[in-house]
Amino acid sequence: MTATILLIRHASHAEAGTVLSGRRPGLALSDGGVREAERLALRLAPIPLAALHASPLERTRQTAGAVAAYHPGLAVETHDALLEVDFGAWSGMTFADLAPDPGWQRWNSARAVAETPGGETMAAAQDRAWSHCVRAALGAPGSVLAMVSHCDVIRAVLARVLGLSLDGLLAFEIAPASLSRIEVGEWGARVLALNDTAHLEAA
């Protein structure tokens, strides 16, 4: 049997698109992000979720909390494996300031081998997130599991399933409050949906 995993990117926050927020604490959803999370929650309300996992950061926990509100008795479980990439010294820098940095340029062109300054590699982030997905899926065959994480982490999991190099990680979008869906079983895994934002576009 297979398990279905809903990979959810957290909703928007004030720094989105301008700052490499990384793992800095205390970054809550913006007013717009709260509305996105509510629309996502309404979309998922009819789905019988067996578990709801989230990165420990505030923006992911808030997004997961909105989903949990429509599933009485379902608790949000936090897992370090779903954390944002550890960007090391880059955390908190604006993208404008990062742009001329050769290390940042290499990071965005050669993710499979590039390193962050004092943080983790993309491969390490992919391994921890993918291992978590596999363990959770094999432990809950026939179930639907929701996991709220971060853009590049979700991209990395999808790339793993699709057999894509991490160097091509920026070739597809994972929007705030978007929904991607994979099936995982002992036979392997496949992608069923990628960057679904119908719940946001209809609002």
Question: Would you tell me how many other CB atoms lie within 10 Å of the CB of residue 101?
Answer: 13
Token pair 């927020």 is at which residue? 21
* Pair 136, 3: CB distance under 8 Å: yes
Yes or no: domain 2-201 corresponds to CATH 3.40.50.1240: yes
State the pTM of this model.
0.96
* Pair 116, 85: CB distance under 8 Å: yes
Half-sphere exposure of 194 (CA within 13 A, CB side): 13
Predicted confidence pLDDT, tens digits, the chain (203 residues) = 899 999 999 999 999 889 999 999 889 999 999 999 999 999 999 999 999 999 999 999 999 999 999 999 999 999 999 999 999 999 999 999 999 999 999 999 999 999 999 999 999 999 999 999 999 999 999 999 999 999 999 999 999 999 999 999 999 999 999 999 999 999 999 999 999 999 998 65
CA 5 – CA 44 distance, rounded (Å): 13
Sign of the alpha-carbon dihedral angle for 187, 111, 19, 55:
positive
Residue-range domain boundaries for the chain: 2-201
